[in-house]
Structure 1
């Protein structure tokens, strides 16, 4: 038997989580970016099979952020890149607000943080998803292995002006 539990976070609650996120972001300058991405990827693969569904769904979004940074064809703008790296900083610490080893609840804070990150980076994530669809479609149509972000943007501009 399963059942739903719903709760609302007030602005003050969200501000608390944002403050925790900001504190994690201040330490990001001392961490090697590739090491941090590897840690996040490791966290996702380690826990994705052993967590409640509400966490597993959100982990996919975290994976998408890592993929956005590593996708050479996407060539993410510097500002978006920095925003994502800063957002991922929180997930680099296994001893976060609620230690991850606590069954079920240990990932509740991670799920909340992922939702905050996704809300902040929604436009970038939507653009990337649209680009991936375009790349798949155009790669087949043009019989090419690589389609770049610049080509996608040029096509979007062309469509807007026609």
Structure 2
């Protein structure tokens, strides 16, 4: 069973995590060169060190699964992952957001791989050409998931701020505003759960005159 890592699409691709009991890979509908698999894994772990190792049997298994699906359904599953790259490209290129250089480098490496035509599975391979690209996006997604959530909120903040900040609020402006909102929420929460004035206990009881 897949761990609960962030996913670019609603469900995970059915990638086996354990080798076959007989130690031999199953038949693959597409040639998988050992050197290309090693290169794929090297890049994957450069992008996300905690990602699983992807062996030949696992790739063959998910390739067989994809080929067994109706073509339109299989293509939709791949595009559900690859379609997320547009937002990722916008994040990396947004000067107002200004991501960390190390993350920018990893995102660039991911985008470079996906645009290559000759990689683990050549892009012109019928039905399967983009499987490795989609798989790389999914397995590396935890490296960008939190950043992307923050960026979406930043985009909403930038739109809501209108002409404020000269129309170009920075990441620091967004963070400062969200921290101030959080502090205000905490203050309101405290006020709603306490009395404004504490007169202490009544002494001598009540007297009616």
TM-score range, shorter chain: 0.5 to 0.7
Matched, 1:151 2:151: no
Whether contact under 8 Å (1:21, 1:90) holds in the other structure is no
How many angstroms apart in 2 are the aligned matches of 1:18 and 1:11? 17
In structure 2, the residue corresponding to 1:106 is in which secondary structure? coil
Structure 2 CA distance for partners of 1:67 and 1:73, relative to 1, 3 Å: same
Are positions 1:101 and 2:124 aligned together?
A: yes
Deviation at 1:161, TM superposition (A): 2.7
- Which runs of no fewer than 5 residues in structure 2 stay unpaired? 1-12, 20-35, 47-73, 185-209
Question: Structure 1 residue 8 and structure 2 residue 15: aligned?
Answer: yes
Normalised TM-score (structure 1): 0.65
The answer on whether the counterparts of 2:114 and 2:133 sit within 8 Å (CA) in structure 1 is: yes
Q: Which residue of 2 aligns with 1:113?
A: 136
The number of aligned residues is 129
**Partners in 2 of 1:78 and 1:55 — Cα distance?**
29
Partner of 2:40: 20
CA 1:73–1:10: 2 relative to 1, 3 Å: same
> How far apart are residue 109 of structure 1 and its match?
1.0
Deviation of 1:97 after TM superposition, in Å, equals: 1.1
Q: Summarize the Cα distance change of 1:56–1:160 in structure 2 as closer, same or farther, 3 Å threshold.
A: same
Provide the alpha-carbon RMSD of the alignment: 3.0
Q: Could you say which structure has the higher helix fraction?
A: 1
Deviation at 1:150, TM superposition (A): 1.6
Gaps of 5+ in 1: 1-5, 27-50
1: distance between equivalents of 2:113 and 2:41?
6
